[in-house]
Amino acid sequence: MNAVPAESPRSSLKILQRPKAETGLWSWITTTDHKKIGVMYFLATMVFFVIAGVEALLLRIQLAVPENDFLSPDVYNQLYTMHGITMVFFVGIPLGASFFNYIMPLQIGARDVAFPRLNAFSFWVFCAAGIFMYSGVLLGGLPNGGWFNYAPLSTTVGPDVSGYTVGGGSAELGTQVHMGRMLLYSIGLQIAGIATLASAINFIVTILNLRAPGMTLMRMPIFVWMTLVVAFLLLFAIPVIGIALWQLMFDVRFGANFFNPAAGGDPVLWQHMFWLFGHPEVYILILPAFGIISEIIPTFSRKPIFGYTAMVFAGVAIGFLGWGVWAHHMFAVGMGPVANTAFALTTMFIAVPTGVKIFNWIGTMWGGKLRLTTAMLFAVGAVAMFTIGGLSGVTHSVVPSNYQQTDSYYVVAHFHYVLFGGLVFGALGGVYYWYPKVTGRLMNETLGRTNFWTLMLGFNLTFGLMHFVGLWGMPRRIDTYAAGFGWDLLNLIITVGAFIIAGSVLLLIINMASSLRRGQIAGDDPWDARTIEWMTSSPPAHYNFKEVPQISARDELWHRKHAVSEQGDYVRVPAGGAGTVVIHDPDTDIHMPDPSFYPALAAVGMPIMGWALFTSGTGMIVLLAVGCVITVGALFAWAFEPMAEEGH
Amino acid sequence: MAEVTTAEASEEAHATSLGLSNEKLAMWTLLGSECLFFGALISAYLIYYTNYNGQPEISPALFDIPFTSVSTFVLLMSSLGMVLALSAIQRGDDRGFRIWILATAIMGSVFLSGQIYEFTVFVNEGMRLDTSPFTSSFYVMTGFHGIHVTVGVLMLITLWARSMTGKLTSEHSDVVENIGLYWHFVDIVWIVIFTAVYLVPYEQVGA
Amino acid sequence: MITASRSEAAGHRSAARRRWAAWTVLLGLLMAGCGTRELPQSALNPAGPVARAQDELWDLVFWIAVGVFILVQGLILFAVFRFRDRGGDEIPKQVAGNTKLELMWTIIPALILVGIAVPTVQTIFELAQEPGEEALDVRVIGKQYWWGFEYLDEDQQGVITANELHIPTGRPVFLRMQALSATQPDPGFDAAPEIGQGVSNGVIHSFWVPRLAGKQDVVPGHTRTLTIQADEPGLYPGQCAEFCGLSHARMRFDVIAHEPAEFDQWIADQAEPAEAAEDGLAAEGEELFQSQQCIACHAIDGYEAAAGTAAEVRIGPNLTHFASRRTFAGGVFDVNDEAQLKAWLANPQAVKAGSQMPNLGLTDDQIDALTAYLYTLE
Amino acid sequence: MSDADDLEHADHPDSSQYIVIGIILAVFTAIEVAISFAAVPGEIAVPALIILTVLKFLLVVMWFMHLRFDSGWFRRLFVFGLGVALAIYAATISLMLYAGAATQA
């Protein structure tokens, strides 16, 4: 971070020549351009989304009929665990990061993020974490304790304590397999946490410090505000889970006693630490979608966001209150009536700012001129579906009835309405909305509408019905169930719904891929939008704006396109009004950071240090040293490498 | 806030909306985050410090307070060394800077050696990571702090080496300042740990 | 520069019809849901005062939520249809907000939530109250992957069963729950494994009989409590609701409620020790049970094993009255299904993953004998 | 929200002030250690130790880390993290120690 500008580009620590490639594989590996990094985040996210989706389909096949033996319990537990971990840590968080990376600097009129190489580092460390996590396929199995990974099942005991099933009768082998899987969980997520923390700091500094002239905080688009709130949530939530994972790692690998009741540890401590992170995490996942929705609805309603200030403060309030509700995940743990009451009240209260957001979106549409493009459909769909998730959230806050709902499929239904209905619908709205900015071409609207309606159908079939099976007594995380509880038909329909979702996602991928070549040429501002990312070319040049715009209002672009008439109405300024005059020759006057090998190299060492803990003795020390030398060496080289070569 | 920066200034990479350096802003952001890292570790210790897993002889009574007080004092004084080094380089006094930055790094190393010695003594007395929640939370907390000190010492030595080869001058005092912030933070964490772990008369409040 | 397509009105209308069709199906299912009152494990079908109190709160919040749902979705649909772009050049009024409206939709939801909070808090404290002297005291033991029940009242001591909890109707039952190691003997309620006493290396389970009460987690190192009560005699199935390992799905149990007199009779029967098998295959099985490792984990009252008295042999379920039960192995297999029992004895992990009962490599003849013996334990 | 007054590198103290602060820190530490040795009753010792620790903390943060002289943004970022940490960990510690701790009958 504290790069010491070196005087000579050929400093002695410079092992690798400065990368020069502008196209091809190396240009992507070494890039420091926030837009390329955003695109890579998105593509990596899509890969993980498909993986986690396939895992979900396998789970649904297993649950389609009672007493099914399509998957063994061991495989089922690994799949449901990895579905959760992948969707939360390798889809939800990086999906937000991909939008933040690409869109946020454009929306504030910055040329790049504050620390371009740190940004690349975040991405590559995130990839390293994903690879490390899934390396379990070759190392005796994937994590299988659930994404929540409650101790002591995750630490001293394990799901197969005598190893009769997994260890083939050997308790020792069973324990070894268990330890490996838990190391994947704890170290994999710690690595992912480093990536996330680095990008959180990066985004905070970027938003605070790199705004275009005139872009005061209260002129920032809501999306940028939500980025800021999410970055702060990550900044404070990641350390909590980081330490919990660190303690878990010591428990599992080195026999520490943080969560081991036999030696005096208390497993409830893990739950507090996990949910202290886990609840803010929910807002980390959903607030980016709120930001995206708040950009799409005004554009396609042709009105400014209703109650901008309230929207900002509601988002900030949700972020704040998110710290005071974690134990509502633990009502059935037995904290006693006083603690349960306190967390019930805070949880209910958080519904108020959430409600404000929903009503303000409706207020934005009210009286507008709505163009129901695919992006708008997804945004409105997200509001409608999130509302259902929000309402079931209120039912959870009613503690006595929560005792019935918690750990049942009702909860599964609830958070999928929040995260799929809110986050995925919102993010897909964002994909359709910003695709033309990223690629220069529009996505196919007919395919898009089909995509939306099939997703709506499949989503509601799948998760809507889960409310019922949950209330009818079906617990979560069971790999099979007996007939006769009234769950059979609903489970079958749920599985059908899951496949409809899969088909719809396939349509999305086809649409994205085919529009890349065949889509209609978009132009700078295809949606008649309001914010400044639409003022530059599509796709934007690597320096984003030829001339950084001077900001004089919220919805700057809209104000540039309209003037106030004598009657006090807005009238459209004839085309060309939004044009900017090029003063500089961008290729010589704008200094952009050069690409660098070191961020990607620094990421390589981390999983090596993680794998070291799978071995012991000399092997462990050697691997630890190798990983450490790679990472620390790359960080040193990076620190002494100038941001941009002289004379560039 | 953006009004203070002029339009033409924004064309330059180093001009910023708040008029503050990106690196320093990032460092303070990181330190805000570090509060939660160390808070979690100290909390675990406070929850477990009376929990001896049936081995009450392995308790905070083992702590050698005079010894730790000395190493605490050394770490505290290293913070003084750090500010004096910063003030020297800001004045352009390269020689003063080298002396003080090296002194700071040495004091940090003395603290680390003290910690390693202390751990060795404890382990020999039967206080191991897996003895009880008390020992687990003690080692993991102080060890995590020790890793931070190690990283700090490495950075300090690097600064010293850069200065010796003439590559670090008063132009780069902001780098020294940021590393200094990190160093002071590691110090204040120890101020809290020293009181919470070593000084509080646990035998009176422990019940 | 507006290049986005803006018409295709026909497409919109058919899409809207599809949307309506989807909602109709959902509503139909909702109705069906309310009508399905005979579901055996449904929280919406309460059979005792605790579950009823929880269900009443659910009803209140559910209908409020339905009201809000209709309002919000109605507003969205109305806005979408009413304010569609129908061409024309005029620019909609650029409304930045409306303080009165915004205050209204901040304050009204807050008031509704206060309305929900009051009965919620009342019920939290009501349910947290421990029942009085009249309650039946039962200890619940959660192990990977089965439930044990031990009757604690003075006149019922020594009655221990597995995977089925028998209770009298109309009387509160106070459950004290402990999660224990699957591989170590149960030290008994009073030697209670609190945090740090070395024996509580179990995992977290959650006790859930939806028709009688919501969940209570059973956490190793802590003794958790829960009150349940049934109005009518009957069978109330339950299930572990906290992920506890490979056979989490196969950790079921039943609560069986009897009329009080019938319950007393049941207790008296259970208090009897097992009788020695008379002769033949069963006697051979009895021999095997004691010579093989069975007796090291499974107590049968009236017998002593090398490992200790019946009161000390407490790793697996107490089998004294095995044949009187409905199910075995975590409430998933039918006791009267002889083939299943034999398959279980032959290879426990093949029928129940992760089971802690070892595969003893028994021959078919040995299995026949053991089965015959187990069926004498009524 | 104007930060025109937040100028970086505002007047930092000079070396002599740093040395005075260093001496104060050393003295406070000596008092702390003395309290710990002098068998002061817990109800006096604990508050005294906490106060001294907070003072040392503030001295380092305000003077050595220049928070007193620097832009308010640095202070906001740090205090925000510190405040969240104090709040949530205080709540967690009390929940761990008092809520649903071993409810042995």
Count of domains forming chain C: 3
Considering only CA atoms, which of B203, B179, B184, B191 is closest in space to residue B71? Answer: B191
If you average pLDDT over residues D56-81, what whole number do you get?
Answer: 94
Same domain, D64 and D23: yes
* Partners of residue A400 in chain C, C-beta under 8 Å: 53-54, 57, 120, 123-124, 127, 214
| Three-state secondary structure of A401-441 | HHHHHCCEHHHHHHHHHHHHHHHHHHHHHHHHHHHHHHHCE
Boundaries of domain holding D23: 13-69
Considering only CA atoms, which of A339, A331, A350, A476 is closest in space to residue A398? Answer: A331
CB pairs under 8 A between C and D: 17
Q: Which chains have 3+ CB pairs within 8 A of B?
A: A, C, D
Q: Which of residues 250-279 of A touch B (CB under 8 A)?
A: 250-251, 254-258, 263-266, 269, 273
Count of domains forming chain D: 2
* Partners of residue D103 in chain C, C-beta under 8 Å: 222-225
Considering only CA atoms, which of A624, A620, A594, A587 is closest in space to residue A608? Answer: A624
The minimum CA-CA distance between C197 and chain B, rounded to whole Å, is 7
Domain contains C28: no
| Kind and range of the H or E run holding C207 | strand C205-209
Residue with tokens 């390992």: C245
Contact, C103 vs C51, CB < 8 A?
Answer: no
User: Alpha-carbon distance B29 to B38, whole Å?
Assistant: 15
Q: Which residue of C has its CA nearest to D105?
A: C223
Same domain, C291 and C317: yes
Same domain, A9 and A144: no
Count of domains forming chain A: 2
Residue A276 and residue D92: Cβ atoms within 8 Å? yes
Domain contains D54: yes
Boundaries of domain holding A633: 1-30+594-648
Residue A402 has pLDDT above 60, yes or no: yes
Q: Could you tell me which residues come within 8 angstroms of residue C59 by beta carbon, excluding any fewer than 6 positions away? A: none
Same domain, A642 and A529: no
Boundaries of domain holding C362: 280-376
* Partners of residue A333 in chain D, C-beta under 8 Å: 100
Same domain, C239 and C289: no
**Residue pLDDT, tens place only, A244-299:** 999 999 999 999 999 998 888 999 999 999 999 999 999 999 999 999 999 999 99
Q: Which residue of C has its CA nearest to D102?
A: C222
Task: Report the pLDDT value the prediction gives residue A645, as an integer from 0 to 100.
Answer: 72
Residue B123 has pLDDT above 60, yes or no: yes
User: Alpha-carbon distance A316 to A477, whole Å?
Assistant: 34
Q: How confident is the model at residue B109 (pLDDT cuts 50, 70, 90)?
A: very high
Burial class (CB in 10 A: 0-12, 13-18, 19+), C61: buried
C259 touches chain D (CB under 8 A): no
Count of domains forming chain B: 1
Same domain, A500 and A644: no
Domain contains C179: yes
Residue B133 and residue A263: Cβ atoms within 8 Å? yes
| CATH number (domain holding residue A66) | 1.20.210.10
Comparing A6 with B144, which gets the higher pLDDT?
B144
ipTM of the complex: 0.91
Q: Which residue of D has its CA nearest to A340?
A: D99
Residue A6 has pLDDT above 80, yes or no: no
* Partners of residue C196 in chain B, C-beta under 8 Å: 51, 53-54
If you average pLDDT over residues A313-324, what whole number do you get?
Answer: 95
Same domain, D65 and D91: no
CB atoms within 10 A of CB C347: 16
**Residue pLDDT, tens place only, C154-174:** 989 889 999 999 999 999 999
Same domain, D62 and D84: no
Same domain, C232 and C150: yes
Same domain, A630 and A648: yes
> Which residue, of A593, A617, A635, is where some domain finishes?
A593
Q: Which residue of B has its CA nearest to C195?
A: B53
Burial class (CB in 10 A: 0-12, 13-18, 19+), A486: buried
Contact, A349 vs C41, CB < 8 A?
Answer: no
Q: A95-121 burial by CB neighbour count: b if 16+ within 10 A, else e?
A: bbbbbbbbbbbbbbbbbbbbbbbbbbb
- Tell me the percentage of chain B whose pLDDT exceeds 70: 90
Same domain, D54 and D28: yes
Same domain, C297 and C231: no
Same domain, A638 and A500: no
Contact, C182 vs C356, CB < 8 A?
Answer: yes
| Kind and range of the H or E run holding C173 | strand C173-179
Q: Which of residues 39-98 of D touch A (CB under 8 A)?
A: 73, 77, 80-81, 84-85, 87-88, 91-92, 95-96
Same domain, A326 and A207: yes
The minimum CA-CA distance between C315 and chain B, rounded to whole Å, is 24
Task: Report the pLDDT value the prediction gives residue D5, as an integer from 0 to 100.
Answer: 40
The minimum CA-CA distance between D80 and chain A, rounded to whole Å, is 10
Please give the order of strands across the beta sheet that includes C146-151. Answer: C160-162, C146-151, C136-143, C173-179, C224-228
β C160-162/C146-151 pair status: antiparallel
Q: Which of residues 40-59 of B touch D (CB under 8 A)?
A: 40, 42-43, 46-47
Residue C227 has pLDDT above 90, yes or no: yes
Domain contains D2: no
Residue A333 and residue D87: Cβ atoms within 8 Å? no
B121 touches chain D (CB under 8 A): no
Q: Which of A217, A235, A266 sits opposite D96 (nearest CB)?
A: A266
| Three-state secondary structure of A549-584 | CCCCCCCHHHHHHEEECCCCCEEECCCCCCCCCCCC
CB pairs under 8 A between A and D: 38
Boundaries of domain holding B103: 28-49+56-205
Residue C3 and residue A575: Cβ atoms within 8 Å? no
Same domain, D63 and D22: yes
- Tell me the percentage of chain A whose pLDDT exceeds 70: 95
Task: Report the pLDDT value the prediction gives residue D99, as an integer from 0 to 100.
Answer: 74
Q: Which chains have 3+ CB pairs within 8 A of D?
A: A, B, C
Same domain, D91 and D61: no
Domain contains D6: no
> Which residue, of C241, C267, C293, is where some domain finishes?
C267
Contact, A179 vs A216, CB < 8 A?
Answer: no
CB atoms within 10 A of CB C319: 24
Burial class (CB in 10 A: 0-12, 13-18, 19+), C140: buried
Domain contains D23: yes
Domain contains C163: yes
Q: Which chains have 3+ CB pairs within 8 A of A?
A: B, C, D
Least confident piece of the model among A25-34, A116-125, A253-262, D32-41: D32-41
| CATH number (domain holding residue C304) | 2.60.40.420
**Residue pLDDT, tens place only, A337-368:** 999 999 999 999 999 999 999 999 999 999 99
User: Alpha-carbon distance A612 to A248, whole Å?
Assistant: 17
A486 touches chain B (CB under 8 A): no
Domain contains C311: yes
> Which residue, of C206, C232, C267, is where some domain finishes?
C267
Residue B36 and residue D97: Cβ atoms within 8 Å? no
The minimum CA-CA distance between D104 and chain B, rounded to whole Å, is 17
D102 touches chain A (CB under 8 A): no
Contact, A432 vs C265, CB < 8 A?
Answer: no
Q: How confident is the model at residue A529 (pLDDT cuts 50, 70, 90)?
A: very high
CB pairs under 8 A between B and C: 6
The minimum CA-CA distance between C222 and chain B, rounded to whole Å, is 15
Residue B80 has pLDDT above 60, yes or no: yes
Residue B198 and residue D15: Cβ atoms within 8 Å? no
**Residue pLDDT, tens place only, A113-136:** 999 999 999 999 999 999 999 999
Q: Which residue of D has its CA nearest to C178?
A: D104
Residue C172, phi then psi, degrees to nearest 5: -65, 145
* Partners of residue C181 in chain A, C-beta under 8 Å: 157, 262
Same domain, A162 and A295: yes
Same domain, C263 and C321: no
Q: Which residue of B has its CA nearest to A112?
A: B13
Contact, A4 vs B167, CB < 8 A?
Answer: yes
Domain contains C6: no
**Residue pLDDT, tens place only, C68-121:** 999 999 999 999 999 999 988 888 999 999 999 999 999 999 999 999 999 999
CA B123 to chain centre: 24
Residue B29 and residue D77: Cβ atoms within 8 Å? yes
Residue A9 has pLDDT above 60, yes or no: no
A469 touches chain B (CB under 8 A): no
**Residue pLDDT, tens place only, A488-512:** 999 999 999 999 999 999 999 999 9
Domain contains C312: yes
Domain contains B17: no
Same domain, D64 and D76: no
Q: Which residue of D has its CA nearest to B190?
A: D57
Same domain, C262 and C146: yes
Task: Report the pLDDT value the prediction gives residue C21, as an integer from 0 to 100.
Answer: 58
| CATH number (domain holding residue B148) | 1.20.120.80
